[in-house]
Amino acid sequence: MKPIIDLVIHTLGPVLYVLLLGGAALGLILGVLLLVNSERVMSWNHSLNRWYSTRRAARALDRPIDIKRPLYRWHRVIGAVVFAASLYTLDILVFGFQTSAVVRALRG
């Protein structure tokens, strides 16, 4: 359990640090811009504070797409492609997966 916690600390710690550093830099820049040219920041705020309709985006996703005809027309070819892809995936996962790098990383 300790290697997992160390891995999480060593990966999430720097990411959190960079995010906080970026947020502080952005706050510093916005603060200076508000002091110097507040009209520009307010115009950015007005342009970014818009309502975005999810209905228009969902309409494109809700449109039905008929794939029966191409699927049934080429069912043997599609079956062979799916079979070959699954064999390739199983081959890579079973025979090509090297666990030594993962064990070294978790061993610490």
Q: How far apart, in whole angstroms, are the C-alpha atoms of residue 45 and residue 74? A: 53
Q: For the segment 5-22, what is each residue's pLDDT rounded down to a tens digit? A: 877 788 888 888 999 999
d(CA 5, CA 106): 10
> Which residue did the predictor score with more confidence, 94 or 24?
24
DSSP state letters, 78-106? HHHHHHHHHHHHHHHHHHS---HHHHHHH
- pLDDT above 90: residue 29: yes
Residues 58-105 have pLDDT tens digits of 888 888 887 777 777 888 888 899 999 998 888 877 777 666 666 677
Q: Is residue 40 within 8 Å of 33, Cβ to Cβ? A: yes
Higher pLDDT pick, 36 / 92: 36
